[in-house]
Structure 1
Amino acid sequence: MHLLKKMGWNPGEGLGKNKEGSLEPLLLNVKTDKKGLVAGSEMKKKPIFTAIAKDFSGKHPVSAIMELCTKRRWDPPQFSLVDENGPSHKKTFLFKVRVNGIEYQPAVSSPSKKQAKAVTATVCLQALGILPRDLDNSL
C-alpha cells in the first residue's frame, strides 16, 4: 500500500496508466488438502473399487486357496487328515480344510494325499463361489 501511494495511487482508483484496472481485490484460494499443486484437469478420479474375481481355474487348487487367503487377509488354510482307509498297498485319504473359521470337506476319499488335498481345496473354492461347481464330478 505504501509503494502504491508513493507512485501516485489513491484509494478507490483503478490500477494502471489510465486508472482502468479492477477495483475489486483478488480473492485468495486457500488450499486445504495435501495433494500438491495440480491443475484441475490433471487430477484423476479414483476408480470405484469393484471386486473382480480372479481366474483361479488354471492354478493348482491348493495354491489358489493359499493366494485367496493371503489376498483377503485371512489366516492360512489348515489342512488336516480326517480318514485313512484301506490296505497298505491301496489306501484312500480324506482331508478337510479350515478357511476363515469354516471347515470344508469333500464327500469322497482320494487314492493319494496330494490328490485328496487338491479335491478338498477345490470343494472349498466351489463353496466360496470362486470356482464353478462341476456337475459331472460331484464332490
Structure 2
Amino acid sequence: MRIQHCLLSTETLNAGQQVGGIGKCLLQKMGWKEGESLGKTNVGMLEPLRVNVKTDRKGLSSMMEGPTSTPPVAKTHPVVRDLSGKHPVSALMEICSKRRWKPPDFVLVLNSGPDHSRSFMFKVRVNDTFYQPSVASMNKKLAKSQAATAALQGMGLIPG
C-alpha cells in the first residue's frame, strides 16, 4: 500500500471558501448576517485566522534565539537540563533514567506523632547511596519531595 503525500501550501489553506452550507444556515438562524462579526456584542474578528504552514523539516524555534555555543566539557554522565520548575521526585527519576541507574528507592523512616499532628520522613537510595533530609514533614508527599531534594543537593545538581 502506497501513501501519497499531499503538498499543502500557505496559499492553499488561506484561500478558504466563504461560509456556506449548513454552517451558514445555522448561523443565520441564530441572527448572524453576512459581513458581521460573531459574538453577543459584534466585536469579534471579521477575517479568518491565517495559517502559516511549516514546510521544512527543521524543529520549531524562536526567531530571536540565535545559535548558542557551549565550550566542550568532559562528560561522565548525560547533561542534566534545567531542573527548576520540576517536581524533585520527577527530576530525580529523570536523572536516574538518563544515567541508566535503578529508579530511586524511597523508604519511610519516621512515622510518629498523634493522629492530628503526624511527622513523616523518607530516605532515598540512589545508585547505592542513601540521602535523607534533616527535618520531618507534616505529610508523606512533602516528606518524599524533601528526600528527593536532599538527593539532588547531595549529587550537586541543585544548590544546597
User: Could you tell me the TM-score, scaled by structure 2's length?
Assistant: 0.51
- Picking from 78, 82, 106, the partner of 2:109 is 82
1:110 maps onto 2:137 in alignment:
yes
Shift of 1:127: 0.6
What is the distance in 2 between the residues matched to 1:119 and 1:107? Answer: 9
Q: Deviation digits for residues 19-48 of structure 1, max 9, x if unmatched?
A: xxxxxxxxxxxxxxxxxxxxxxxxxxxxx6
Aligned to 2:11: none
Query: How do residues 42-121 of structure 1 correspond to structure 2 at under 5 angstroms?
Result: 50-51=74-75, 52-121=79-148
What is the distance in 1 between the residues matched to 2:142 and 2:108? Answer: 12
Taking only the aligned residue pairs, the percentage that are identical comes to 53
Unaligned runs of 5+ residues in structure 1 are 1-47, 134-139
Q: How many residues align structurally?
A: 87
The answer to whether the Cα contact below 8 Å between 2:107 and 2:122 also exists between their aligned partners in 1 is yes
Unaligned runs of 5+ residues in structure 2 are 1-71
Query: Which one has the largest radius of gyration?
Result: 1
Which SS does the other structure have where 2:123 is aligned?
Answer: strand
Shift of 1:63: 0.2
1:127 maps onto 2:154 in alignment:
yes
Cα RMSD, aligned residues only: 1.7
User: Could you tell me the TM-score, scaled by structure 1's length?
Assistant: 0.59
Q: Deviation digits for residues 66-102 of structure 1, max 9, x if unmatched?
A: 0000000000000010011110111010100000000
Which SS does the other structure have where 2:89 is aligned?
Answer: helix
